[in-house]
Amino acid sequence: MSPPSGTASGPVVTPSRVVAGLCLFAPFVSMLWVGSYDSIDPKFIGIPFFYWYQMLWVPISTLLTCIAYVLVRREQAARKQATRPPEGSEPK
C-alpha cells in the first residue's frame, strides 16, 4: 500500500542523519572498547588513564549529542518548509 500523494514515504537516509547517527554511535564504541583504555599510564594530574579517559568522554558525548540534535532539527525544519505550499497559492 503506497502513502497518499504529497506525504513522506517513510524514513529517509540523508547525509545529515548519517552524521547524526555517527555522532551518537561514537561514544558507545569508545566506552565499549575497553581494551583501548585499559591502562594506568599516562597519568593526568595523578589520575590514571582509565578514569580520565572515561571522564573526558562526558563532555565529548554532550557535544556530539548537541551536534546530532541540531542536524536533525535543521533537517526537519527544511523538510517541513519544503512540503509547505508557497505563499499566496492557498485556495480561497
Mutual orientation of helices 15-32 and 49-83 as an angle, nearest 10°? 160
Contact between 68 and 23 under an 8 Å Cβ cutoff? The reply is yes
Cis previous bond, 42, omega within 30: yes
What pLDDT, in 10s, does the model give residues 5-50? Answer: 555 556 788 889 999 999 999 999 999 998 888 888 898 999 999 9
Q: Where are the domains of the chain?
A: 15-81
CA 21, CA 32: separation in Å to the nearest integer?
Answer: 17
Return the pLDDT at 92.
Answer: 58
What pLDDT, in 10s, does the model give residues 41-87? Answer: 898 999 999 999 999 999 999 999 999 999 999 988 888 887 877 77
Where helices occur in the chain by DSSP H, the ranges are 15-32, 49-83
Confidence of residue 3 (pLDDT cuts 50, 70, 90): low
This prediction's pTM? 0.73
